[in-house]
Structures are given as C-alpha cells and as structure tokens.
Amino acid sequence: MNLDRKQAPAFKTIDKIDITKAKQDVLDNGIKVYTLNSGSQELTKIELVFKAGMYYQKQPLVASAANNLLETGTKNYTANQISDNIDFFGSFFECAVDQDYATLALFSLNKY
C-alpha cells in the first residue's frame, strides 16, 4: 500500500480513551505508593520519584550532579559491580532529573 503524502488522512473523533488508574496506598511511615497492573507482561518497573529537580537546586547543575553520582558507585561497590549485578538479573537501572523531579527506575523480570 502506497501512502499519498499529498492527501491528508480523514479526520476522526475519538469516542473514548481508557486510562488505567493507579492504585494508591500509604505506607506506615506516610509515604504514598502507587501501583499499576498493566497486564500480563513478565516485567516490573519500580520507580522512585523525588522532589529534587532543578527547581530545588540552590546552585546550577547541583541536581544533575547529585543524580549522576548515584550511578558512580558506593563505599562498598564500584559502578561496574553494581552494573554487573543488575545485568545478571536481566534488569535495567536509570536515573533522570528534570525541572521538578529526580527519578530512579529499575526494570526487572518478574521472576527476580
């Protein structure tokens, strides 16, 4: 099928958008936890979200620098050791910072 790039597609209205709502729980220490069951995938994502974005920094680049340090190792483990342990389980870890929030996310297979 060839697309006619000179002819715009027909306009259609959207009747309904189904957005799955997250379930909210509150831990004993008052921290809110949101869970979302998005089907039968063999994957789990754990994401920690902190009010620690660029808005909260007192000097330029502090939020980004602090977030980047999270992937450079700890007192007991080098960055390579942490990475190897995460990779061993087929998992993926990422850190991000934006205007308002800093996030840490771990993607892992459910069996682990």
Rg (the chain; Cα; Å): 20
Percent of the chain residues topping a pLDDT of 90: 74
- The CATH number linked to 63 is 3.30.830.10
Q: pTM for this one?
A: 0.73
Q: Residue 29: is its pLDDT beyond 90?
A: yes
- 55 lies in which domain range? 23-109
Asked, for residue 15, whether it belongs to a domain, the answer is no
Asked, for residue 9, whether it belongs to a domain, the answer is no
Asked, for residue 7, whether it belongs to a domain, the answer is no
* DSSP for residue 66: H
Asked, for residue 66, whether it belongs to a domain, the answer is yes
Q: Residue 22: is its pLDDT beyond 80?
A: yes
Give first-to-last CA distance, the chain, whole Å.
44
Separation of alpha carbons 100 and 49, rounded Å: 10
The pLDDT assigned to 79 comes to 94
Q: Residue 41: is its pLDDT beyond 90?
A: no
Separation of alpha carbons 44 and 107, rounded Å: 6
Contacts (Cβ under 8 Å, ≥6 apart) of 48: 103, 104, 105
Tokens 């080098």 locate to 78
Q: Residue 83: is its pLDDT beyond 80?
A: yes
Greatest C-alpha distance within the chain: 62
Over residues 62-73, mean pLDDT? 91
